[in-house]
Amino acid sequence: MTETTPPIATPEHTVEGFVRQYLRELTYTQGTTLERASVDDKYLALARTARAYLMSRWNRTVTQQYRQPVRGVAYLSAEYLLGRQLDNALIASGLEDIAQEALASLGLSLDELRAAEVEPGLGNGGLGRLAACFIDSLATMNIPAIGYGIRYEYGIFRQTFVDGRQVEEPDSWLDHGSPWEIARPEQEVEIAFGGHTEKTTVNGVERTTWTPGWSVLAIPYNYMVPGYLNGRVNTLRLWSARATRAFDLKIFNYGDYAAAVRAQTFAENITKVLYPEDSTPQGKELRLQQQYFFVAASLHDYIERLLGEGFDLRRLPERITFQLNDTHPVIAIPELMRILVDLKGLAWDEAWEITRKCFAYTCHTLLPEALEVWPVELMSRLLPRHMEIIYRINDEFLAQVRERYGDDEMLVRRMSIIAEHPERAVRMAFLASVGTSKINGVAELHSQLLREKVLTDFADLWPEKFTNVTNGVTPRRFVRLSNPGLSALITEAIGDGWATDLERLRELEPLADDAAFRAKFREVKQANKHRLVDLLARRDGIVIDPDTMLDVMVKRLHEYKRQMLKVLHVVSTYDKLRTGELDPASAVHRTVVFGAKAAPGYKMAKEIIALINHVGARVNADPVVSQALRVAFPANYNVTVAETLIPAADLSEQISLAGKEASGTGNMKFALNGALTVGTDDGANVEIRQLVGDDHFFLFGLTEPEASAIQEAGYRPSAHYEQNPSLRHALDLIASGEFSGGDRSVFEPIVSNLLYEDRFMVLADYQSYMDAQERVDAAYRDQDAWSRSAVLNVARSGFFSSDRSMRDYLDRIWHVDPMPIEG
């Protein structure tokens, strides 16, 4: 294949070379001229130009991997929240300056064209963005790796506000096509569902055959995952559903044309839309179809390629680890068993040994409601053979449990992969625990609680299976690309190389004591604030003051993340400013920025969004209050907005109830960009605080053991309301209709939920949070000390590079060696 293709020169790495390639793309691919081209045409030509530079590296990577098959890793994830591709492609190939100059020579602006790119929002939040960071790091670290996922036609919905309430609009990101994908329809895979199974005996050996009821085609689309300046381009392979030819034939051969077209639509619905729930699954049938669809296609794809090499599947664990990103791809475990036993004729025990060794599982949650469970009825109907396999896995596993612990029926019931109540259902996290060789949590505290509270019995049975890998974020996107000012300052101070060796940021530590460096650091922050001012004005018509403290809380809207606590702080401050308890002239001036999407079916989360908007409107309209406090809530927070918002932030809000946020990754991005954190002892906050030091982090709130103890003793939130006048005023103000045009009913559900339920202990942490915010104000008054802390946050956060996370996965789980690309 590619080896025999005569080498075709990559476009020259010069301004002239870039211009030539750009005009070629504009003319021959886009079919237009500079004079006639729309902004879209110009962007597409630019994207294809960047792609052209990467293409030969991509081919080289694939060729060298074919020639020299080595151990690798396949990341299975239902979500990849990639963000825009153009800038990343340019920095990865060292073309940023060349592109800028080349475009300028044609009278074009890189800034204008990059704004035309629609980001692929193929993920909800933390989990999807983490997957995107990981594949970036793997490519940069020269690891032979492939990502597998789903090419949703509609990604995460576009959020707008109508009267302050969230309205969802479809995200048709593929409307203008995507220059970043390459379809490989000839590598389609047929994926079957439904039907029934039969047992037959062939030569005295019992075999099961599955006769499916229907099937669809999985069409792969390849995306380039460029390593940073290293010549490697890995592949992300996303699957799209298409009706089989049988549907097309039916359309022509049968009279019922409409029914045939409906059937086709049905098949193609599988990859139509990303489910917008983040960390609280909905248990919809289509979702299970999506999961099996992409996992079955991916395993087939990988295994067929190996078989093409003449590979012996008995050695599969030597060649690959399939990393399961949460429970979403866990159906891969029975699928691999089916392939090995039913299709390849291996004995069950041998197949099981292979399967367990090939898989590893990452758990991303502690919330019990977030652990996926599929009704046996549904699983049996949709995947009857897989259900049988799960039963057998469970039987053998429970026999092992009985052997080890005796007939402890309570324990057996607790550990069973099949839950009996409220309905018979498959517990996917348990299937993952049994069917893998390693299980990891995503931050130290999370991994500890996973062992102690969620998968306790499994940790008892197999302590050696459990490990931790603290999450990380890619410094390429979240510092180098999104914060060019800080990047230049860092490079000026410690030279380059830090973007692939982030612990080198430590070398900045002494500069925290250098007044001139701090001044430059403040200049960068100020410039970043101005960039944000421009973005919000242009994008949202929101005016913010760059000469205020930027206090930012951006993440999915979820009660456990406690946006409500931030709202109460805003309301209390509003109250104090209004009543004169706080003097607006001498108070620290703050702009509180929110960004959050709520799952469309999550009522309380949507009410909280409305409350934030209504409180914001009131605060901003008050002539006295707004001198010292303003609220901004740009709609449709996404990766692109994050890239401008995070570098501008002074204060990062990480205020979940301790023991609820598995890790958090936004917290890492803020610290790396020199924001100080106000946070609880939760998730990766714990590690951030340990690294940056208590003096440079505003800790508040209950610890996990404290919160658990209170819950066990019986938590009564209204006691806090009764005893704390400031809290009472804030809640009364919300209940009074102050923020809802006098209508007391509007936010009543929020207030009574807090008073009588408050599952996430907002009221219990209120006072501690208010005190922490006073410490924040006091610290901010001393700008020199503040920027010293901010520099130390940057210097000490190198640990949170996703390159380090990958190293940990490689050492503890994958054991894959780097394979640099030659030439």
- Does 655 sit near ligand H53 (CB under 6 A)? no
Per-residue string for binding with ligand H53, 425-444, x by CB under 6 A? Answer: -----------------x--
AA identity, residue 405: Y
357 is catalytic: no
The answer to whether 370 contacts ligand H53 (rule: CB under 6 A) is yes
For residues 378 and 341, the answer to whether their CB atoms sit within 8 Å is no
Coil, strand or helix: which one is 591?
A: strand
Q: Considering the complex, what minimum distance in angstroms separates the CB of residue 209 from ligand H53?
A: 36
Indicate which residue of 57, 364, 451, 689 is catalytic: 364
**Residues within window 141-170 making contact with ligand H53, judged by CB under 6 A:** none
Shortest separation between residue 401's beta carbon and ligand H53, angstroms: 26
Alpha-carbon span 659 to 472, nearest angstrom: 19
Helical (H) or strand (E) element with 302: helix 285-308
Nearer to ligand H53, 572 or 636 (CB): 636
- Residue selected from 664, 674, 679, 798 as contacting ligand H53 according to rule CB under 6 A: 664
Is there binding between residue 365 and ligand H53 (CB under 6 A)? yes
Residue 131 CB, shortest distance to ligand H53, in Å, is 9
Nearer to ligand H53, 79 or 181 (CB): 79
| Contact call for residues 411 and 457 (beta carbons, < 8 A) | yes
Q: From residue 607 to residue 646, what is the string marking binding to ligand H53 with x (rule CB under 6 A)?
A: ----------------------------------------
Pick between residue 531 and residue 597 the one whose CB is nearest to ligand H53.
Answer: 597
Asked if 631 and 620 touch (Cβ cutoff 8 Å), the reply is: yes
Closer to ligand H53 at the Cβ: 250 or 364? 364
Closest distance of CB 324 from ligand H53, Å? 12
Give 711: exposed, middle or buried? Use CB within 10 Å, 0-12, 13-18, 19+: middle
Intra-chain end-to-end CA distance of the chain, in Å: 18
In the complex, least distance from residue 631 CB atom to ligand H53, rounded to whole angstroms:
25
326 binds ligand H53 (CB under 6 A): yes
* Contact window for ligand H53 (CB under 6 A) among 122-130, 226-234, 300-308, 351-359: 122-130
User: Per rule CB under 6 A, is residue 330 in the interface with ligand H53?
Assistant: no
Is residue 475 close enough to count as binding ligand H53 by CB under 6 A?
no
| Chain position whose Cβ is nearest to ligand H53 | 126
Tell me the closest approach of the beta carbon of residue 130 to ligand H53, in angstroms.
4
Q: Running DSSP on this structure, what letter comes out for residue 656?
A: P
| CB 10, CB 56: distance < 8 Å | yes
Site for ligand H53 in 258-287 (CB under 6 A): 278-279
Strand residue runs (E) in 275-387: 320-325, 359-362, 373-375
CA atoms of 746 and 607, how far apart (whole Å): 9
Does residue number 665 form part of the binding site for ligand H53 (CB under 6 A)?
Answer: yes
Beta carbon of residue 419, minimum distance to ligand H53 (angstroms, whole number): 18
User: Which residue in the set 72, 83, 120, 126 belongs to the binding site for ligand H53 (CB under 6 A)?
Assistant: 126
CA dist., res. 379 & res. 231, Å (int): 44
> What's the one-letter identity of residue 123?
G
Residue type, 472: G
- Pseudo-torsion of CA 682, 686, 692, 698, nearest 10°? 40
- Distance (Å, rounded) from C-alpha 597 to C-alpha 581? 34
474 binds ligand H53 (CB under 6 A): no
Q: Are strands 205-211 and 165-169 parallel, antiparallel or unpaired?
A: unpaired
> In the bound complex, what is the minimum distance in angstroms from residue 818's beta carbon to ligand H53?
24
Residues 528-557, interacting with ligand H53 (CB under 6 A): none
Known active-site residue 199:
no
For residue 737, give both structure tokens.
Answer: 């209709």
- Report, in Å, the least distance between residue 694 CB and ligand H53: 23
Distant-in-sequence, close-in-space partners of 666: CB < 8 Å, separation ≥ 6: 126, 554, 555, 642, 646, 652, 654
Nearer to ligand H53, 133 or 730 (CB): 133
Shortest distance in whole angstroms from residue 560 CB to ligand H53: 9
**Residue 328 annotated to the active site:** no
CB neighbour list of residue 305: distance below 8 Å, 6 or more residues apart = none
The token duo for 407 is 């007939």
Q: Measured from the CB atom, is 48 or 364 closer to ligand H53?
A: 364
660 annotated active-site: no
Answer for which of 321, 663, 677, 801 binds ligand H53 (CB under 6 A) is 663
d(Cα 817, Cα 821) in Å, to the nearest integer? Answer: 13
Q: What torsion, rounded to 10 degrees, do the Cα atoms 798, 799, 804, 808 define?
A: 170
Nearer to ligand H53, 570 or 668 (CB): 668
Question: Using the rule CB under 6 A, is 82 a contact of ligand H53?
Answer: no
Q: Helices (DSSP H) in 599-747: which residue ranges?
A: 603-621, 639-645, 666-672, 685-692, 704-713, 717-723, 725-735
Q: Is 291 in the site for ligand H53 (CB under 6 A)?
A: no
The answer to the question of residue 290 lying near ligand H53 (CB under 6 A) is no
Q: Looking at 386, 525, 531, 561, which residue is catalytic?
A: 561
Rounded distance between C-alpha atoms, residue 670 and residue 647, angstroms: 7
**Minimum CB distance to ligand H53 smaller for 442 or for 481:** 442
Q: Is 614 a catalytic residue?
A: no
- Is position 576 annotated as part of the catalytic site? no
Helix ranges restricted to H, 94-158: 96-105, 110-114, 126-140
Name the one range near ligand H53 by CB under 6 A: 363-371, 419-427, 627-635, 752-760.
363-371
Task: Identify the CA nearest to 431 among candidates 486, 355, 490, 368.
Answer: 355
Our finding on whether 323 is near ligand H53 (CB under 6 A) is no
For ligand H53, give the closer residue by CB, 367 or 412: 367
The per-residue DSSP string of 729-779 comes to HHHHHHHTTTTTTT-TTTTHHHHHHHHHT-TT-HHHHHHHHHHHHHHHHHH
Question: 598 vs 662, which CB is nearer to ligand H53?
Answer: 662
- Position among 117, 661, 704, 765 found at the interface with ligand H53 (CB under 6 A): 661
**Dihedral sign, CA of 125, 131, 135, 140?**
positive
Choose the catalytic residue: 665, 689, 696, 804. Answer: 665
Window contacting ligand H53 (CB under 6 A); options: 82-90, 148-156, 282-290, 658-666: 658-666
Asked if residue 687 binds ligand H53 (CB under 6 A), the reply is no
Could you tell me which stretch among 35-43, 119-127, 396-404, 449-457 binds ligand H53 (CB under 6 A)? 119-127
667 binds ligand H53 (CB under 6 A): no
How far does Cα 629 stand from its chain's mean position?
Answer: 31
Q: Which is nearer to ligand H53, 222 or 433 (CB)?
A: 433
Catalytic hit among 57, 385, 555, 597 = 555
318 neighbors 71 (Cβ within 8 angstroms): yes
57, 338, 518, 669: the catalytic one is 669
b/e map 126-164, b = 16+ CB within 10 Å: bbbbbbbbbbbbbbbbbbbbbbbbbbbbbbbbbbebeeb
Min dist. Cβ of residue 686 to ligand H53 (A): 13
Q: With contacts defined by CB under 6 A, how many residues of the chain interact with ligand H53? A: 19
Instruction: Write down the least CB distance from residue 800 to ligand H53, Å.
Output: 11
Cis peptide before 212 (omega within 30 of 0): no
Q: Tell me which of 679, 683, 701, 798 binds ligand H53, using CB under 6 A.
A: 683
Catalytic residue among 386, 556, 597, 660: 556
Q: Tokens standing for 413?
A: 């019931």
* Beta carbon of residue 667, minimum distance to ligand H53 (angstroms, whole number): 9
Report d(CA 440, CA 433) in Å as an integer.
10
Query: Would you state the structure tokens that stand for residue 93, as one six-digit string?
Result: 């190939």
Phi, psi at residue 575, to the nearest 5°?
A: -60, -45
Return residues touching ligand H53 (CB under 6 A).
124-127, 130, 278-279, 326, 364-365, 370, 442, 471, 661-665, 683
Residues with a known catalytic role: 364, 555-556, 561, 665, 669
